[in-house]
Amino acid sequence: MVVIGGSGSGKSVMLKSILGLLTPDSGTIHVDGTQTVGLSRRDRAHIDANIGMLFQNGALFDSLPVWRNVAFRRLQDNTLDMQAARDIAVTSLSQVGLGPELLDVFPAALSGGMQKRVGLARAIASKPDIIFFDEPTTGLDPIMTDVINHLIRDCVRELGATTLTITHDVTSVRAIADKTALLYQGRIIWQGTTDELEQSDDPFLNQFINGLAHGPIEVEGQTVEATVTGGA
């Protein structure tokens, strides 16, 4: 599932609420059949153990080498020794097209695209049942965007994981989505399959996917119309 929407539509609030970082004022949230609002820290940790996360900007730890970033969760819960953790890092990095020569490299030495791939390797390292992707292609050039989209699709298929992605990148939607929902002013106003996305005549959806300034979706700030006059 991919949730699309413009800035301020509620995508990040929704994701943070699902992850337990924000507490909703009302209503319930169910993750894998479990109602998560108000859970104890211990019960929440049990839920989180089955969740992977790719953050918008990679969110790697600058002070840790790549292998420790990738195996961070396993090292934190003391389930692996150092060599086993490095082995998991090697495997996870290979799944995103990176080699073992990067194990001891620090994030500052990596390009934005490589940092994003390391972040993806970390998200899949524990073989989670659920993976969240927060604007996975933000800040990437078109070629690296395509690379990341294909890696996400391939890794998800290999793991058989359930995924929820939030994005405003329509190219990514077409590349990775099985189902899509449009969020506007905190509410889902359209949802459907990728085929239905292309065929829909919904005015909100059409305005968003075609990047139109005019339509039912209100654009923040004033609309400025400019007239250009004069010869060549």
- Cβ contacts of 29 within 8 Å, gap of 6 or more: 17, 18, 35, 36, 37
**Residue 214 resides in a domain:** no
Nearest to 6 by CA among 146, 225, 207: 207
d(CA 30, CA 229): 57
**Residue 221 resides in a domain:** no
pLDDT digits (tens, 9 = 90+) for 11-66: 888 988 998 888 888 889 999 888 999 888 888 888 888 899 988 777 899 999 99
Q: Which of the four pLDDT bands, split at 50, 70 and 90, describes residue 223?
A: very low
**Residue 224 resides in a domain:** no
Question: Which residues make beta-bridge pairs with 183?
Answer: 188
From the centroid of its chain, how far is CA 187? 19
Coil/strand/helix, residue 33: coil
The four Cα atoms 100, 101, 105, 109 give a dihedral, to 10 degrees, of -120
pLDDT digits (tens, 9 = 90+) for 75-99: 887 777 889 999 999 999 999 999 9
Count the alpha carbons within 13 Å of 12 in the hemisphere toward its beta carbon. 8
**Residue 195 resides in a domain:** yes
Domain range for 69 is 2-209
CATH number at residue 184: 3.40.50.300
- Cβ contacts of 80 within 8 Å, gap of 6 or more: 71, 74, 88
* pLDDT on residue 124: 92
**Residue 96 resides in a domain:** yes
Strand segments, DSSP code E, in 30-147 are 30-31, 34-35, 51-54, 130-134
* pLDDT on residue 222: 43
Q: How many domains does the chain have?
A: 1
**Residue 220 resides in a domain:** no
Structure tokens at 101: 């020569």
**Residue 215 resides in a domain:** no
* pLDDT on residue 66: 96
**Residue 223 resides in a domain:** no
Q: What are the distances in angstroms from CA 84 to CA 78, 93, 104, 139? A: 11, 14, 15, 33
Q: What angle do CA 165, 87, 176 make, to 5 degrees?
A: 20
